[in-house]
Structures are given as C-alpha cells and as structure tokens.
Structure 1
Amino acid sequence: MTSGSTGASRLAGGLLRSLDPVMDGALVAFALWTLAYEASLVWPFDLGLAAGIWLPLTIALMAFLVVRDLRERDQAGPADGPEPTAVAAPREGRRLGRGVRTGLLAAYVVVVLAAGVLTWSLDKHRVTLLVGLCLVALVLALVLALTRPDDTGGDRGDGADHGGVGGTDDAAMLPWRGTVAEHALVVVLGLAAAVFASLLLRPNQDDVYYVNISVWVAEHGTASLRDTMFGPETLPSIYGGGLPLASVEPLMGALARVFGVSAGSVVYLVSVPLVAFWSVWSIWRLAREWAPRRPLAVVLVTLVFSVMAGANMFGNFSFARVWQGKVMFWLIVLPMVWVVATRLLRRRRRDDLVMMAVLGVAMVGLTSAATLLGTVIAGALLVAGLVARSGRLALGSVLLALGPVVGGLVVALQASGALEQNPPERLSRGGRSPR
C-alpha cells in the first residue's frame, strides 16, 4: 500500500470516527436550546432569533469537539486494527465475588418469572411491566458484564498489563472504535435508514398537537402557554395543565422561521432523515461498548428487528414516527445513556459526568414522559452504581435525574395553579380565562 493510499485511509477513518464527537456536540447543543426555551416560557423572546444564534454556535461546538477528539486519538495512537482492543478494568468497584454474581442472576430469574406471570395475568399495565423487565435486564447485564470477578483475589484495575492494555491510562481505556470499513458500512446503513424513514407514510394523531406547536412558533416566533389548535391563544391550553417543557417542536418551528420555510417541511423532510441516521449511529456506539467483538452484527440485528416489528410497540416507536420527540428519546438518547453509563464504569473523565447531565436535560426537551422515564432510568443506574461500588456511576445517575426531577417539579407546581384558575367545569362552559 502506498503512502498516499495510507494517508487517504487514515483521513477517511478520522472523518468517520469524528461522527462520535459530532453527535455529542448535537446533544449538548440541544440541551442548551432546551434551557433557552424554558427561559422563554418565563421571559418571552423571539425563538427565531434564538435559533439563528444557536445554529452557528452548534456548528462551532461540533467542530471544537471533533478537533479535541482528533488530538486525543493522536496522543493515544492508532485505533484502527483487525481485532478489537481489550478494555481495561475500572479502577474501583470491580470486586464482586462469584456468590454475589450468582445471587444477582438468581434474583434476575425470579424477577423474570414474576413479571412474566403478571404480564399474562393482568389486562392492564402490560407495557409498563415489559418496559420494567427490560430495564432490569439491562441493569443486571451492565453489572454482570462490567464486574468480572478476579480469580487471583486482586483488583484487575491495578495498572498491570492485562490483555495488553494498562489500567492507569485513560487513553488506553477508550472503547474500541472499529475499523474504517465497519464505520463506513454503518454510515451506509444510516443513510439507508434515512431514505427508508423518509419514504414511509404513516400519519399519526399526535401530530395534531406536536406539529401545531412547530407551526405556531414558525409563524409567531414565540412559545405559547395557551391553546393554539382551536384559536389564537383565546382558550386555555388543553395540554392538561403545566408548562409544555418539550423543546424539540419549538426548535423545528424556530428553524423553519429562520430559513423561511414551512414548519411541516422541517418536521417531515429535514428531521426525519437526520434522526433516522443518528439513531443508527447511536446503536453503533452502544454496540461498540457492549459487544466490541461483533458490534456490526448487533447493529444489523437491531435494524432488522426494528423494521420487521412495525406492528408492535417497538416498531411503532421506531422509523415510522421518527420525527416525534418521544421516538427521538427512544432511539438516540436512551442508547447514549447506556453508553455514558458504561464509560463511567471504565474510565475517569469529567466529560462523561457532564454528558449525563446533558442527557437528562435532553430528555426533558424531547418528551413530557421524561419526568417518569428519566427518574426510573436514573434510579436503576443508581442501584447499579451501588452494587458495582462505582461512585462515578452513582454520581452520574444523580446528574441524569436532575433535569427530569426539576422539570417534573416545575410542571407539578404550575399545573396545580393552572387548575385552580381554570377548573374543568369552567372550560366545559366555554369560558375564557384571563390571558
């Protein structure tokens, strides 16, 4: 191989691997937008102007993270290779004995059996039980996979050479990044998913509310706390009380206002391919963390399952409704939570703690269910951190819960006041509340 082709290969690999920091930058930028949007609910300002400032800052943030990542990889040495690099053990909390692991496995079996019985015996809450079961499975898999017992009785995070990787070098503990060919294939899969999602036609009743928010912001430039479906803010909101904290729909409307296009164009023609592509990449990142020897196979199986499961809940919350914030949470944010949680167990970096807080805020910006789902996920990670004796993971779970908990408190406090001012019987008579 000539030096020119080698240089081109390294350049292509660097560009492909830079998609990780680009995605991180997008998540951080969205969290910042969410905070700005929440501020606009209290102190109204033009969201179109805010989006015009936010967009170039987002690009600058992505560029900064890409440059920093390239420098870190240059210092760590070449990451490409025919075989995945072994991952060093974390420096703390890996001394789980075989008896404890056996007990965890037995507890998991009991939970599976109990949940199975409840799932098939109860008519209600089946989805909740299934989601809880999956959550327990993920947490226990995380603990069991990352707390391997040491047959010699010592902690494998002693800095010695285990599998060719030192235990004291953060750069050496970076997850395996995959080959250039694998990254390129995942990019192709992401582009295929973007085209596939763009060609799907499956209207959803929720868009009556969600897209209406984008249209209002695109046309007026400000957030609204009142109803905009049946009139121009002449009726109280039918949202059910509380502040509409989700910021992704206002972001789409604000971007439509910046570029002078319709909100529907941004929602259905721009966000769909972008979110579909990044959902594939988030799966790729999680597969590289949890299945470093066969990450590509994991991605392929996951995509096939998502496409073929269109008739059930998992397929419905996939490419068929990828423009909705709750689906973005399911496809992008949730895998990234597990990615960052795994990293907290493997290395010491403040960036991972910051990213946990960012993901918590992003949850609030994507779905009103963040108050419930975010706290449950954070609680599960807290339990995993305590079992694995990882202070970093426990702290990360607390940071993850900050956004959902604060958002839930704000909504609860504001909703109680809204219900006192706008009782249901008054709304049924068509009465108007003071604006």
Structure 2
Amino acid sequence: MANVDSIAVAPAEPDPTSGTGQASRPATARVGLSRVRALVAVAPVVLTDGAVIAFALFTVLYHLAFLGDLRPSVTFRIWLLACVVLAVVAVLRARRRRAAGTPTDSTPTGQEDPVSAPPAADRRLLIGVLGAAAVAAVSAGAAGTRINLSWWIPAVAGLLAAVGGLLLVRQAWLRGPVSTPAAPAPTTAQSAYALVISVLVGISSFFMSRNTPDDVYYVGKSVWIAERDLIPLNDFLFSENVLPAMGSQPPIPSIEVFDGAFANVVGIHASSALWYVLLPIMAVFAALALWRLTHRWAPRRPLLAFTVAIAYLYLVAGGDAALGTFHVLRLHEGKGVFVSAVIPLMWLYLTEWFDTRSRRSLVLIVALSITAIGLTNTAAIILPMLVGAAGFAMMLVGRWKAAIVAAVAALAYPIGSLVVSRLALGVMTATGADDTFFDAAHTYRRTLLFGVVGVISGLALWCGALLARRRTPALLAAGATLALSVMFVPGVLEVLSALSGVSVVLWRVPWLLALPTLIGLLCTVRVPAPTAALRRAASGGIAVLLVASFALFATPVWSSKSWVEVRTSPTWKLLPHRQSIAFWIKGLDRPQGLLLAPQTVMRTVPIITSEVRVVLPREFYLVEYDLNSQFAKDRMLLAEFADGTTSPAPAELAPALDRLDVGTICVYNGNRYARDTVPELGYQEFATRSSPGAMTCFRRAD
C-alpha cells in the first residue's frame, strides 16, 4: 500500500525556450497536478494510519497520566504537542526520502489474480466445499424463520466448509510461487472515490439519531470529565466518585477521556464535541478502513466491492446487534469504532506483515492494538480470537515466526493493560454481564441475521476464502472462517462463557470476521464469460442483486424499526423532548439531594450535566450493586413510582426517599397518583412545564 513517504515527483522537462519563461509554467503546472494526484492517492493510507498512531499515543499518555495524577486537559495538551512533533518529523523524513529517491512503498504493485485450473483432487474438494457452504448458509438463514431446523445442520456443514476451504487455500499456497502477488496500489481515481464516499458517510452521521441505554455511561462519563477535568476511578453515576466502580468497566478505555478532555480544552459541551466533531471524523475513518481492507483483499473490481459493503452497512440494520447499527449509529461508543474500523485495519495490517515482514507493518499492528483497547475492553476478548485465527492459518504454511511475532505485537499491550488494571484495582466482577448469554444459533441471528440476508451472510462467511485475493488474504480469510465456524458448534460458546465469565460479550465473536468486506467480495467472483466486458457486466449484476436483496429483505439504518430518528439538521442523539426536559431541570433552583424523575429522563440527565445526580441512571447497572440490597430496592421502588407503573403507599416511599436523600421529584402530569402523593411526602410544587413533556416538579420542604 502506498504511503506518504513514497510520493515522488518527476523532474520537469528541460525548457526549450530558456530565458523566455513561456514553457516553465506548463511544466510547473504538470508538477503541481502530479503532486495533487499523488496526495489524493495516498490520502486514505495517511489518514487512517495517522489516526491510529495518534489515538494510540493518547491512550498511552492517558495510562501514564495515572502515575503522575495529571488532569485530562493537561494530558490532552501534551498529546497535541506530541502529535505536532510527530507530524513534523514525518514530513521531514518524507522530504529526505523523496530527495534521495528512496522508494518506501511496502506493497508491490500487481495485476488481477491469474486464474489457473486446479488439479482434479482440488476440483472435487472445491465442489464439496461449495456444497457444504451452500447447505450451511441456507440452513443458517432459515434457522430464524418458521422453518424448524436443528442448529447442528448449519454448524456441521459450516465446519466442513471451513476446514475444506482452509485445505484448498493451504494447498494453493504450497503449490504457488514464493513471491506474494499483491494488490496494485490504489489509483488516484480509486482513492478519490473512497474519500468522497467516506466524507458522505461522515455527513450522514449528523442527521441520524439513535439514543441507546449505554449512552448514559459512555457519553455521561465524557460529560463528567469535561465538567470536572478529573478521571472518575470510582462510580460517577450513583455517587460523586465515591462508591466502588462497576467491576465490568475498568478504566482502561481512553475514548471517553479523549472526548471529555477535548471538550474541556476547546470549551464546548462534551456531547456537542462527541456528536458534532468526533462522530463524523470517526465515520470517515471507519469508511476508509473498510475501503483499505476491501482494496487489499479483493482480487478484482475493489470499487464495486467497497460500494456493496457500504450499501450493506446502511441497508442492513434493525436488530440491536446488526453490524449496521454500529457503523454510523453507534460509532460514538468505542465498541462501534472497534468493530467498524479496528477490525478491518487489523486484518489489513496482518496481511501486510505476513506479505512483507516490514517494521512499518509491525509498528502499525502495535499501535492499532493500543487503539483497540483504548476504545473498548471488548478488544481484550476479540483480538486474541482474531490474531489466533490469523496465526493458526499462517502456521499451517510454515510461517511460525511471523505468526508468533504478530501475536505478541497485537496482544501484549491490550492483555498487559488489563492485567495491570486488575492488579491495581482488584479482580474484575462482571456480575451484570453474566445475566445475558446467547448461544451459537442466537448469536448468528443477532449479528449475521436470518432469512435472505442471513443466507447472503453465510455465503460470504463460508465462501470468503475462495473469493479473496490469493495467498495471504485468502489464507487469513480461511483462518477467520474456521475460527468462527468452530465457535458456532453448539456448546463451544457455553464453554467459553464458563471459562471467561463474560457471557455478555460473547455474541460479539462474529466481529472478528470483517464481514462487510466479505459481503463485498461476493460481487468479485469471476463469472465464466468469453469477454472481459461480459465478466464486468456479470459482476455488476451480482452487485445489483445483493443491494436489491438488502433493500427488500432487511431494515435500513434510517428506519424507525432501527430505533432511529432522521433529522433535517445536525442533532444530538437524544429525543428532543427528553433533551429539553433535562436542560429545563438543570436550570431549576433545586435543593440539595438526588433527582427522582421518570426513568427515561433520568437516563438523559447525565448526558446533559454531571451537576444533577439522579436516583436511577439505568436499571441494568444495579446488578453491580446487588439487586437484593436496600440500595437497589429503594431505587427501583422510587423509579417505578415516578414512571407511574406502580402505586406504593406513602409509608413505603418515605423511608426510601430519606435513605437516598431525594431533594427534587419531577413527574409527568399524566401520572396523577404521583402528583397527588408527593405533597403528602413533605414536598411542595415549585415548577411546571407545558407540552411536549408536560411535567410538574416538587422540592423538599425545609
């Protein structure tokens, strides 16, 4: 893959009219145009690799800041200075190498994969693999419909297809040339197309709003940090950094700290910083990451494959676990960037490392692993699976040393940081996580979906190794397919759950696939045709059929069924009336103590301000503090009362209000029981608002 150091400008032709100045201007114009084209061609590489290194640097600085007890704003300013220094060094190195004429491109150019007839034994194995893949894909897609099929059918068929595919790819590798056929460097036109699509993806992030329950923690933490310029090592939702922090959320990720520190330094609200500045940048980054892997793995027509992959992410959403819901709608959560950008880039960097064994690739693997753990703790679970799948595949062809080095580079920092945090803060207790578990069949249906889209996902999964560019891309795709196929065998995820104790994230194991790229590769299959034009037309027809299937049989990201509201102007990812209520409550002259309000409002308030503490930020988090404790029972009792779902007697409410020190109670006007009961509890009305969100607030009487 081309990089910024490889930009070289041909010397201008000798001026045939020396002294006149007439011919120098066209030559200068040609040189300038050549530079612009070269910059556009390498822009996706420079932007993505630069972003990886920059965020990895911030994550390291954030972790080191614990030793010096630095405020986030100070860490952010140090990071800015370090980024400027690194950028200057990179530019100077690029100029020196360009002046010396030293090529630095680690990716040799190449042509479309040549097609040769496989031996008879391989043809028979290929037919078997395709048959098993078809059975697995169709039966897996049907498993979520009215057709009642045992999950053992797709599990066994998929495992057979994965093993057969890996054997085919391995045999092709061992028979092939020692040199690795690589993808040609992207042309200026290809990079320009990817940049335009990525910018459009970033723009679209402004107008789609999907508020998720997790936002109260992730966005709320950014708001807390921005307003106080502190990192909360203890609980910040139920208390003022006093109660023990949730055991399942060690303070390793740095993305919330980055957002909060950025907002504090710039002087804007943390939610605005996240949704108006960082979110579109992350959307562009994710789209470019997808483009780079697709370009590297596609044996032909990468632009078409990239277009289909983007269409898949926009047209296939709906379910809470569908990949489309993470790409644009939930990129403001670290795990969204992880699955949408880190996963494809990790496969890309591993491909480059196994192809070239260059120091640059190894450095990028290390930086990306740091970026991954800076985004989400899930990286410590998914990355070992991904790297293990890649390493196992490379060991099968004798690349033991390269596989071991890659594994150490990709896993040392994430696993090390997790171990250090546990030694410093205590053993992780993911009590809440253990309450939710999805077996293999449900995991497939939640992430790869069912019906027509499930069948297409299955074909991409079990045929991906046969569609990818030869040698390294095909081998890595085969390793990923085998790893996931093993996990889809009934009982495997149950064993992993018992061993790891983090059941809640095991449904995310399909994330290791880089599925959107494999979906795009479906349209690159070489259709037998007498002419190149007919082959291109056939690929275009497959692409149209894929996109049409997504449009007809899936739920797009902009649908209300995806819990999305499309706005006509850039917006926070909150329902407008809840946002308005939260700001209104913040502006009230409230007494000291907690705020009791309907649960939807209490989930919104921490995203607005850390100055108003609420009785119950989110019910799910109570499992961290023992659901049978008085602490949890009081909060659930009062929250249900404020919601109007129960009507407890004043004798039950009064002790709970006193124990929690509730100073303000706000209820919707439609909750008549609460409006009549609150004055009996020693509270007096002091504020009302009209629709939308008509509400009455009461304050504790002195």
TM-score by length of 2: 0.49
* Corresponding position of 1:364: 373
Return the match for 2:427 from 404, 407, 416.
Answer: 416
SS at match of 1:300: helix
Q: Match of 1:428?
A: 629
C-alpha separation in 1, matches of 2:270 and 2:134: 45
Q: Secondary structure at the match of 2:340?
A: helix
Moved more, 14-23 or 279-288: 14-23
* Aligned match of 1:32: 57
Alignment of 1:337 with 2:361, yes or no, is: no
Aligned partner letter, 1:275: M
* Corresponding residue of 2:226: 218
Residue 357 of structure 2 aligns with which residue? 348
**Paired residue type of 2:211:** P
* C-alpha contact (below 8 Å) 1:26/1:62 kept by paired residues: no
**Alpha-carbon shift at residue 308 of structure 1 (Å):** 0.9
Partner Cα separation in structure 2 for residue 336 and residue 138 of structure 1: 23
Indicate if the aligned counterparts of 1:252 and 1:266 stay in contact, CA closer than 8 A: yes
Amino acid at match of 2:376: T
Q: Which has the higher helix share?
A: 1
Return the offset for 1:190: 1.3
For the 8 Å contact 2:206–2:280, the answer to whether it is kept is: yes
CA pair 183-39 structure 1, distance change in 2 beyond 3 A: same
- Which of 237, 248, 253 is 2:260 aligned to? 253
Say how many residue pairs are matched.
398
- Give how far 1:71 is off: 6.3
User: Cα deviations across residues 20-57 of structure 1 (Å, max 9, x unaligned)?
Assistant: 13421221221122122223345421110110110232
Match of 1:395 in 2: 405
Q: CA contact under 8 A between 1:143 and 1:387: conserved in structure 2?
A: no
- The CA distance in 2 between the partners of 1:276 and 1:50, in whole Å, is 25
Q: Give the share of equivalent positions with the same residue, in percent.
A: 26
Q: What code does the residue aligned with 2:86 have? A: L
Structure 2 CA distance for aligned equivalents of residues 286 and 345 of structure 1: 14
Gaps of 5+ in 1: 89-95, 124-129, 158-166, 168-172
Q: Is 1:328 matched with 2:337?
A: yes
Aligned-partner residue type, residue 283 of structure 1: L
- Tell me the secondary structure at the aligned position of residue 184 of structure 2: coil
Contact 1:227/1:233, CA 8 A, preserved across alignment: yes
> Which is worse superposed, 396-405 or 250-259?
396-405
Judging changes above 3 Å, is the alpha-carbon distance between structure 1 residues 326 and 235 closer, same or farther for their aligned structure 2 residues? same
2-side partners of 1:218 and 1:11: how far apart?
Answer: 41
Distance 1:22 1:425, change over 3 A: closer
Return the offset for 1:273.
1.0
Give CA deviations for 1:182-224 in whole Å, capped at 9, x if unaligned: 2122211111111111111222221100011111221222211
Shift in Å at residue 265 of structure 1?
1.5
Residue in structure 2 matching 1:208, options 211, 216, 239: 216
Q: What is the distance in 2 between the residues matched to 1:412 and 1:120?
A: 43
Does 2:39 match 1:15? yes
**Structure 2 portions without partners, runs of 5+:** 1-24, 146-153, 431-622, 633-658, 660-702
Match for residue 75 of structure 1?
102
Distance in 1, matches of 2:158 and 2:372, equals: 19
Q: Say if 1:148 and 1:326 are closer, same or farther in 2 by CA, change over 3 A.
A: same
- Distance of 2:158 and 2:202 partners within structure 1: 27
- After superposition, give the CA deviation of every residue in 1:203-251 in whole Å (9 maximum; x if it has no partner): 22211000111112212222111111233213222x2356221111101
1:230 and 1:217 mapped to 2: Cα distance? 16
Structure with greater contact order relative to length (CA < 8 Å, sep ≥ 6): 1
In structure 2, do the counterparts of structure 1 residues 254 and 241 end up closer, same or farther at CA, with 3 Å as the change threshold? same
Report the AA paired with residue 255 of structure 2.
V
Q: Describe the SS at the equivalent of 1:416.
A: coil
**Contact 1:241–1:416 at 8 Å: present in 2 too?**
no
2: distance between equivalents of 1:105 and 1:65? 50
Residue in structure 2 matched with residue 306 of structure 1 by the alignment: 313
Check the 8 A contact 2:317/2:325 in 1, yes or no: yes
Q: Aligned letter for 1:37? A: Y
Partner of residue 243, structure 2: 235
Taking structure 1 as reference, are residues 44 and 186 closer, same or farther at Cα in structure 2, changes over 3 Å only?
A: same
The question of 1:382 aligning with 2:391 is answered: yes
**What's the secondary structure of 2:329's corresponding residue?**
helix
CA–CA distance in structure 1, aligned partners of residues 162 and 307 of structure 2: 20
Question: Alpha carbons of 1:155 and 1:331: their partners in 2 closer, same or farther (altered >3 Å)?
Answer: same
How far off is 1:136 after superposition? Answer: 12
C-alpha deviation, 1:98, in angstroms: 9.3
SS in 1 for 2:102: helix
Distance 1:142 1:267, change over 3 A: farther
Letter in 1 for 2:297: W
CA distance in 1, matches of 2:264, 2:257: 10
> Residue 334 and residue 98 in structure 1: after superposition, are their counterparts in 2 closer, same or farther (change >3 A)?
farther
CA distance in 1, matches of 2:409, 2:172: 26
Distance 1:98 1:333, change over 3 A: farther
Amino acid at match of 2:37: G
Alignment of 1:44-193 (within 5 A): 44-65=69-90, 68=93, 74-76=101-103, 85-86=110-111, 148-149=172-173, 155-157=177-179, 175-193=183-201
Letter in 1 for 2:229: G
TM-aligned CA deviation for residue 382 of structure 1: 1.4
CA distance in 2, matches of 1:31, 1:355: 10
Q: Is the 8 A contact 1:241 1:415 kept in 2?
A: no
Q: In structure 1, the residue corresponding to 2:391 is in which secondary structure? A: helix
Asked if 2 retains the 8 angstrom alpha-carbon contact of 1:360 and 1:403, the reply is: yes
Corresponding residue to 2:203 among 175, 180, 195: 195
1:267 is aligned, of 256, 270, 274, to 274
Amino acid paired to 2:75: A
Deviation at 1:359, TM superposition (A): 1.6
Q: Secondary structure at the match of 2:209?
A: coil
Which amino acid in 1 is paired with 2:314?
V
Please state whether the residue corresponding to 1:211 is helix, strand or coil: helix
Contact 1:101 1:144 in 2 (8 A): no
CA distance in 2, matches of 1:282, 1:75: 27
TM-score, normalisation: structure 1: 0.77
What is the letter of the counterpart of residue 211 of structure 1? Answer: V
Q: Deviations over 1:370-421 (max 9, x none)?
A: 12111111111111221232232442123212233224434555442889xx
Alignment check: 8 A CA contact 2:353 2:361 kept: yes
Partners of 2:61 and 2:79 within 8 A in 1: no
Answer with 186-195 or 62-71: which moved more: 62-71
| Equivalent-residue separation in structure 1 for 2:237 and 2:354 (angstroms) | 47
Determine the C-alpha separation between the residues in 2 that align with 1:134 and 1:52.
51
Q: Using the TM superposition, give the Cα deviation of residue 428 of structure 1 relative to its aligned residue in structure 2, in angstroms.
A: 2.8
Q: Distance in 1 between matches of 2:238 and 2:271?
A: 19
Decide whether the 8 Å contact of 1:317 with 1:330 is kept in 2.
yes
Query: What is the aligned-residue RMSD (CA, Å)?
Result: 4.3
Which residue of structure 1 aligns with residue 437 of structure 2?
Answer: none
C-alpha distance 180-199 of structure 1, shift in aligned 2 (>3 A): same
Provide closer, same or farther for how the CA distance between residues 404 and 78 of structure 1 changes in structure 2, counting only shifts above 3 A.
closer
